[in-house]
Amino acid sequence: MKEDQFRTLYKKAVDSMKPGEEMKKDLIDKLEQPQERKRPRKTVYIAASIVLAAGIGLAAPNIWQQLNGQSPQEQIAQVTPGSSNSGTNASGSIVIPKVELPDTKSGAMTDMIALVVYKDNIYTQSATRINAADAAALRGDKLGRTTGGIDEWSGKDKYIELASNIGETDIYSVKGYDSSFLIMSYSEINGEVFAELYEHTNGITVNSGADLFGKLNLEGRITSAQWESFDSWNNGQQQYTPLADGEALKGFLTALQAAKPLAAEPLIEQGIYDSEDRKVFYLQLDDNARVELTLFGQGLVRYGQAPVFFEVESGAFQQLWESMKL
Nearest Cα residue to 229 out of 220, 219, 239 = 239
pLDDT confidence tier of residue 69, bands split at 50, 70 and 90:
very low
> Pairing between strand 128-129 and 290-296?
antiparallel
- Chain segment 171-201, per-residue pLDDT in tens: 999 999 999 999 999 999 999 999 999 999 9
Query: Average pLDDT of 44-49?
Result: 30
3-state DSSP assignment of residue 324: coil
pLDDT beyond 90 at 209: yes
CA–CA dist 75, 53 (Å, integer)? 16
CA–CA dist 184, 286 (Å, integer)? 18
Per-residue three-class SS string for 275-295: CCCEEEEEEEECCCCEEEEEE
Q: Work out the mean pLDDT of the chain and round it to a whole number.
A: 78
The residues with which 281 forms a beta bridge, in sequence order, are 227, 293
pLDDT confidence tier of residue 155, bands split at 50, 70 and 90:
confident
CA–CA dist 173, 127 (Å, integer)? 17
Packing angle, helices 42-56 and 21-31, rounded to 10: 150
- Chain segment 316-325, per-residue pLDDT in tens: 999 999 999 8
Nearest Cα residue to 185 out of 111, 119, 132 = 132
Query: Average pLDDT of 115-123?
Result: 93
What pLDDT is attached to residue 33? 45
Q: Show the CA angle centred on residue 303, arms to residues 302 and 306, nearest 5°.
A: 95
135/51: higher pLDDT? 135
The amino acid at 179: S
pLDDT confidence tier of residue 112, bands split at 50, 70 and 90:
low
Most confident of the ranges 66-80, 95-109, 112-126: 112-126
